Structure 1
Amino acid sequence: MNASKNITIDWSSPDVLEQIVQNIKNPLENIITASKSSTIYNKDKKDEIIFSSSKEINDIIEEIMSKSKSKSLNLTFQGRPEIFDIYESNENVREMCSEQINPQKITKQDQDWLINLEKEIYGSITQNDLNLYELSYKMAVSERQLHRKIVNLVYLTPNKYVRVLRLHKAKQMIDNYLQSSISQIAYSVGYNDVHYFSRLFIDQYNVSPKELLSSFR
């Protein structure tokens, strides 16, 4: 019998929180309905919270969801570029860069530009051949300017930069168990050749996607 494995869940995700809320909403409403005729209030229990109606639960649930979604949006669009976190946590990625990335020396304007670039790349991540010309058009720069700016900011060529983000997204999918097979994960981040995808993944994370996925089962 295989020992159970812990699965990493992104608790900051509004999708995860929404599922949890939906799972507890109906039971709580049923408890309130059943207890309306037999509620006992103990004045000595000052910390006890009495829900008088399901509307109070709905209000609390909506407030939780609103705050979690707001937090998620802030982390996604107002934080710093993901490439910084990837760089700092992954020695292999650091070795790929021609120079050391220092986020403190990168202006807020350039960081916002990188965040928007990541958004565009993730939005087209399923494309096997992500067109740099099309990407430069979306970023309102020439292809040469796109190349130069990426190299100057993160010391990676555009192709290597996109590859790092593709594999980062693949690892997130494995960590959160969003796909059940390596081929599905590879296709989801734009790789039609599963063996090639696996080789690149090993180069970046020192473990095969198959081994990593199996560790969560």
Structure 2
Amino acid sequence: MNTTVKRNAIDWSSPDILNHLFLHIKTPLDSIITASAPSAAGSEIKNEIILSSSKEINDIIEEILNEIKSKSVSLTIQSRPDIFDIYESNKNVQDLCSKKINPEKVTKKDQNWLINLEKEIYNSISKNDLDLVDLSYKMAVSERQLHRKIASLVYLTPNKYIRILRLHKAKQLIDNYDQDSISQVSYSVGYNDSHYFSKLFSNQYDISPKELINSLL
């Protein structure tokens, strides 16, 4: 009789998992550092080499742990698709959707699918022509399935959905002072025409990028 063993999937993006992993590396490493402290003249050189290497590894782990702690909040927030927050806070985005989005009716599996889709879009967001065929391939669905899935979950076409995310990312760049010129922001989110970008941005946020930048100075 064949026995199937089920294994739980590990979310490697979770700060708790990463923190747990590196702490398990760090604990025995601390023991190595302590044990390698020079004690006898004959082993002093060898121990110094081990001690030096171990401390370098320890410093790297410390940096990683600090980075995990600093990003733990944003990683936790990403358990919910950005489109939900954008939709709930923006009347203009709501008007673009053919139906009302109800996040509570979207399964966790579909929410994770949307999160992965958003990650793929963000990874290629600076491209002027974001290829839907390529995006479909990365999501392991056909282009038709991509259209249907987005339409059924957020009631948007893929192009409108991508545009909303582009402009959302543009607003984040301005709000976080990552870019301070319209052309820089425009290029960063895949628009080569800054005037066209400004028009789309104004339509989504009821304020032009220039006005928003000036309001933050």
Q: TM-score, normalised by structure 2?
A: 0.69
1:158 correspondence with 2:158? yes
Give a deviation string over 1:152-193, Cα, whole Å, max 9, x none: 100000000000000000000111111121000000000001
Question: Counterpart of 2:13?
Answer: none
Q: What is the CA distance between 1:72 and its match in structure 2? A: 2.9
Q: Secondary structure at the match of 2:191?
A: coil
Q: Secondary structure at the match of 2:169?
A: helix
Q: What is the CA distance between 1:75 and its match in structure 2? A: 2.5
What root-mean-square deviation, in Å, do the aligned CA atoms of Structure 1 and Structure 2 show?
1.8
Aligned partner letter, 1:164: I
Question: Counterpart of 2:130?
Answer: 130
1:114 correspondence with 2:101? no
Q: Secondary structure at the match of 1:126?
A: coil
Q: What is the CA distance between 1:66 and its match in structure 2? A: 3.8
- In structure 1, stretches of 5+ residues that fail to align are 1-57
Once the two structures are superposed, the pairs formed by residues 77-156 of structure 1 within 5 Å of their partners are 79-156=79-156
Give a deviation string over 1:42-101, Cα, whole Å, max 9, x none: xxxxxxxxxxxxxxxx9999865442233332323xx11000000000000000100000
1:198 correspondence with 2:211? no
Question: Counterpart of 1:186?
Answer: 186
Question: Counterpart of 1:70?
Answer: 72
Aligned partner letter, 1:69: K
Distance 1:60 1:127, change over 3 A: closer
Distance 1:129 1:75, change over 3 A: same
Aligned partner letter, 2:206: N
Q: Secondary structure at the match of 1:215?
A: helix
Q: Distance in 2 between matches of 1:73 and 1:92?
A: 27
Give a deviation string over 1:196-215, Cα, whole Å, max 9, x none: 00000010000100010011
Q: What is the CA distance between 1:130 and its match in structure 2? A: 0.3
Aligned partner letter, 2:101: I
Give a deviation string over 1:7-45, Cα, whole Å, max 9, x none: xxxxxxxxxxxxxxxxxxxxxxxxxxxxxxxxxxxxxxx
Aligned partner letter, 1:137: Y
Aligned partner letter, 1:84: F
Q: What is the CA distance between 1:106 and its match in structure 2? A: 0.5
Q: Distance in 1 between matches of 2:87 and 2:205?
A: 12
Question: Counterpart of 2:51?
Answer: none
Q: Distance in 2 between matches of 1:154 and 1:66?
A: 31
Q: Secondary structure at the match of 2:216?
A: coil
Q: Distance in 2 between matches of 1:62 and 1:157?
A: 39
What is the total number of aligned residue pairs between the two structures? Answer: 158
Between 1 and 2, higher relative CO (CA 8 Å, sep ≥ 6) is seen in 1
Distance 1:186 1:152, change over 3 A: same
Question: Counterpart of 1:54?
Answer: none
Structure 1 stretches of at least 4 aligned residues deviating more than 2 Å after TM superposition: 58-76
